[in-house]
Amino acid sequence: MHDTANPTGPTGSIDGGIGDVFDSLDTAACIIERLQDRSDGLRDYRYIAMNPAMCILFGVDDLTGQTIRDNFPDEVEDWYDSYDRVLATGIPMRFERATEPQDKILEMAITRLPNADRLLIVMQNITHRHRDAQALQAEVDRQRLLSRELNHRVKNLFSMILAITSQSLRKLTDQGPVQALLGRLRTMSAANDILLRRDWQAAHVLDIARTVAGEVGAGERLDLNGPDILIDAQPALSLTMFLHELGTNALKYGALSTQSGRVDLSWVQEDGRMDLRWIETGGPAATAPTRRGFGSQLVSMGICPDCSVEVDYAETGLRVHLSAALSELRRQD
């Protein structure tokens, strides 16, 4: 099966300067040729050349002239399938494969040599890369498990706080402030669930708006329209409370206190800022509060340091415009 047209000499070494390059490669490489099937029907290949890097990789002496079966009898048939496929088609292959007898994972490239029934195989040991990736994935999985456990405990904590608050304040004559407090706690708990989806790092504005709509009972009378904007955890919590106060106020005194009233909540992203507008229609005229309560303070504070809030108590209903710098909303970028 030797072909005098190929670059290997009769003893299996590579002729001329090519052999010097082959031997000096840091990457393991060998040239093999297909043999006739053995008497037991198994395929086999013989090493025509093997560079020192390959000897070091497998911890063997130069195996030139010896067969793969004789030296690696436990290798699976998939290896021979790949060799035969490249030899038959001439189409190179590149893949990663584990070699269990040597406890290694190799990145391999197989190419058929021109004018010869021989293959050039180049390989490198990527076992450490795989193990590092597995260790990293294991750590990611562990962090996610801890995050889920933390979320479970936080939810239990919120439930306990709600129960304690409700029981402790149940005898108060005026239950309005109590229900407002409980509503804020429930909304914060819901915000925690949203943030958990991204490991408590960020949340989408649309998800926040939908959650608040569900918490305050706005239903389908709250129209949402805006791009997919992701904001950090702290402004996400602030936005949740901001919208909760507006929604609660609309249910008590504004557009959502009537059957025909509606709220349009929209937001846009332009010129490095997010502009959010809350517009109530179909309800009673908006009137400025006679005193500045906690809810009014939450709204006026906005959701981040570089933020402005304009409140218009219009005849057609309350109108609120919030403008916030995206650099304050997405600091991890």
237-273 per-position pLDDT tens digit: 999 999 999 999 999 999 999 989 999 999 999 999 9
pLDDT of residue 177: 79
Asked whether the beta carbons of 9 and 15 are under 8 A apart, the reply is yes
pLDDT at 15 over 90: no
For residue 120, which amino acid is it? L
Which of 48-62, 203-217, 266-280 holds the top average pLDDT?
266-280
pLDDT of residue 16: 52
Range of weakest confidence among 106-115, 142-151, 198-207:
142-151
pLDDT at 104 over 60: yes
Q: Quick one: pLDDT band at residue 204, thresholds 50, 70, 90? A: very high
In a 3-state reduction of DSSP, which class is residue 107?
strand
Q: Quick one: pLDDT band at residue 1, thresholds 50, 70, 90? A: very low
Structure tokens belonging to residue 264: 């349009």
Average pLDDT, the chain: 85
Q: Give Cα separations from 52 to 42, 102, 280 (angstroms).
A: 28, 17, 78
Q: Tokens 């517009």 label which residue?
A: 279
Burial readout 153-162 (b: 16 or more C-beta within 10 A, e: otherwise): ebeeebeeee
Four-residue CA torsion sign, 172, 174, 177, 182:
positive
pLDDT of residue 182: 79
149-200 per-position pLDDT tens digit: 877 787 787 778 878 888 888 878 788 877 878 788 888 888 888 887 777 7
